[in-house]
Chain A
C-alpha cells in the first residue's frame, strides 16, 4: 500500500430531517483513503454519493461520526476553519463545471488563490501555468460561455489544481460531456494519478471505475462494497 492515510471516515452518519421522520443519507460510513489513491465512488442515484462528497469536501458536516483529514478531526470545525480547509487542502471538480460566468478562464483559475491571499502577480503566473497544463494556453482571456463543455471542464480541473490540494474531489466530471471530451478529461485524470495525486471521484461510468484503482459502492447510504484493483 502506498503512502499514509489522508482521509479517514469513522462511522460517519448524515441524517436529514423530513418533517416527523429522519432519514440517513449516510449511515455509519467507514473507510480510509491513502496518499496517491484514485477512488471511484459508485452506486445508484440517491444512494448518497453527493452527500458523501460534500462531507469529504468540508461543505457539509456529518451529523455524527468523525472525519479525519490529514490526521486532523475536522468534524468539529467551525465555518471559517472549514472554508480555510477547502481553500488550502481540497480541490473541487463539478459535473456542471461551476465556472463563474463573468470571469475569464484565467480569472476563474485564480479564484482559490485569491481567497488564500496570494498576490496578484504570483497568482496570475500560477493560473497561466495551469491553464497551459490542461491545454488552454490559447484561451486565457475567454469567458466560459465561449468555450466547449470539455474546455470548460478543463478550466474546472485547472482551478481545482491551482492551490496544490491534498485531495481532488470530483462529482461526475464527465457526466455532462460527450464521449470524446469525456475521454480527454479522463486522460487528464490519468495523468494526475501518475503524479500520485489523491483523487476521489463520484461516477456512474464503469470504465472510470476500472481506471481508478479502487471502487467504493454505496447503497442506501451504506458502503456496500470496497474493492481495490478488482479485489475486495
Chain B
C-alpha cells in the first residue's frame, strides 16, 4: 500500500492535471516565500559552487593543456643540458666543455626509426639583440624552415625561412612578437635589420611568442624550467656559420667555453599512438655511447596525459564536495517538507476525503520538492555561470564553464528533489484520512 506506482502516476495524470498540480505547487511555495527561499539556499549554494569550482578547475587545466598542446602532441622535444658538475667530463687542457645533442645523434635517430617524420634541429645561443639603441636579451635560435609547423607557432606577419635561405646561410630572422614589441615599439620591424654581435639580420616575419616552451614543461612538472628569454629565429645553417659550435662565457674571472652542436631537436612521430614508444626508443638511441647525462627529453603527450589525470583527480574531488553539499541541501529540503507535511495534515485529510488517491498526494508533495530544488538549481546555475566570469575579470584567471557543468549540476539538484521528496510525500500519502481530518 502506498508504494510508488510509477505506471499509475504516468497513466493517471493527463497533461492538464499535471500542469495544474505544478501551478498549485508554485502557489503553495509562494505562500511560504521566506521559508521556501531559505530552503532553496542550500541547493543554490551547492549548484553554484559546483559550477564555479568546475569552471575554475577547467580553466586552469585548459591553460596548462593549451601550453602543452602547443608543443605539439606528436612531438618529442630534445634539449641539450649542461651536465651537473660531478657528472661533467671536460677536457681540462682546452677548458672546453663539450656536451649536448649532436648532428650524429640526429642521423642515428633518423636511420633507426622509419616512423620519425621530421627532425627540426635547432641551435640556441643566448645573446643580446640590438636595433638602433634598443637592446633585448634573447635566445637566438637556429632552426629549419618547417620549425613553426612542428611547434604550432603562428606567424603573425611576414613569413618564415625558405629552404633557399637555409641553403644560402642567409642572414634573415623571424622575431617573436615580444622581441618585436621591445625593439620596434613605434614601427614595423619587417625588412629592418637587427644586430647580433657584429652580424646584421633582416627581419622577414613575426611569430607568436613561444611561451609554451619553458612554462609548459615546468607546469607539468618537467625538469625543463630555467629562464627562457624571448626568441629570435635564424636559419640553422646561418647559426652554424655565424656562431660556430663553441661559445665562450666569462665566468667568475675565468673563461669557460662550451661546445654544443645542437641545443634543441624535435622528433615528430606520424601516429600519435606511437609517440610514447618512439620516445623510449629515441631515449635508448641517445643513451647509448653517452658518458654523461647531457640532454633532456620532453614528451608533450605525456605531459598532456599527466595534466589530464591531474584534472580528473581535481574534478573527482570537486564532484565529491559537490555531492556532499547537494546532499546537505537535500536533507534541508527533506526536513522542511516533513515539517510541511505535518503542518498540512488537515489539508491532506480534506483532499483524501474529496477523492484524492495516495498517488495524487505523493505527486503534490513531490512536485513541491522538485520545484524547490529545481528553482534552487536554476538560481544556482545563474550564479554559477556569472561568478566564474567575475572571477576571471577580478583575478585574471581563465575560467571555462563547459555546457555540461550547469546541465549536470541542475539535473543533480532536480534528482535531489525527487530523492529527498519521496519520503515526506510517502508520509503524507500514507496518513489515515480519518486521523488526518481530526488533526488540529
- Residues in chain A within 8 A of chain B (CB atoms): 54, 57, 59-60, 78-80, 83-84, 86-88, 92, 94, 98-102, 111-112, 114-117, 119-120, 159, 163
Contact = CB atoms under 8 A, between A and B. Distances in A.
Nearest to B355: A87
A100 B437 contact: no
A83 B352 contact: yes
B88 interface: no
B357 A98 contact: no
A59 B351 CA distance: 12
B354 A102 contact: no
B353 interface: yes
Contacts of A99: 350
A102 B25 CA distance: 12
B358 A80 contact: yes
A116 B350 CA distance: 15
Given A59-B434, A86-B353, A159-B354, 14 more contacts: A54-B434, A79-B1, A79-B2, A83-B352, A87-B354, A87-B355, A92-B353, A98-B437, A102-B28, A112-B355, A115-B351, A115-B357, A117-B17, A163-B355
B308 to A, nearest CB: 53
Interface of B: 1-2, 12, 14, 16-17, 20, 27-28, 31, 346-347, 349-358, 360, 433-434, 437
Return the 5 tightest CB-CB contacts between A and B, nearest first: A87-B355, A115-B355, A83-B357, A112-B354, A59-B433
A159 B347 CA distance: 15
Contact of B347 (A60, A88, A100, A163): A100
Contacts of B27: 102
A98 B17 CA distance: 23
A119 B358 CA distance: 21
A228 to B, nearest CB: 29
Contact of A84 (B28, B347, B353, B357): B357
Contacts of A116: 355
Most buried by B among A80, A83, A116: A83
20 contacts: A59-B434, A78-B1, A79-B1, A79-B2, A79-B357, A80-B357, A83-B356, A83-B358, A84-B355, A86-B354, A86-B355, A87-B354, A94-B437, A98-B346, A99-B350, A100-B347, A112-B355, A117-B12, A117-B14, A120-B20
B425 to A, nearest CB: 16
Given A83-B352, A100-B347, A115 B360 contact: yes
A98 B433 CA distance: 13
B350 A100 contact: yes
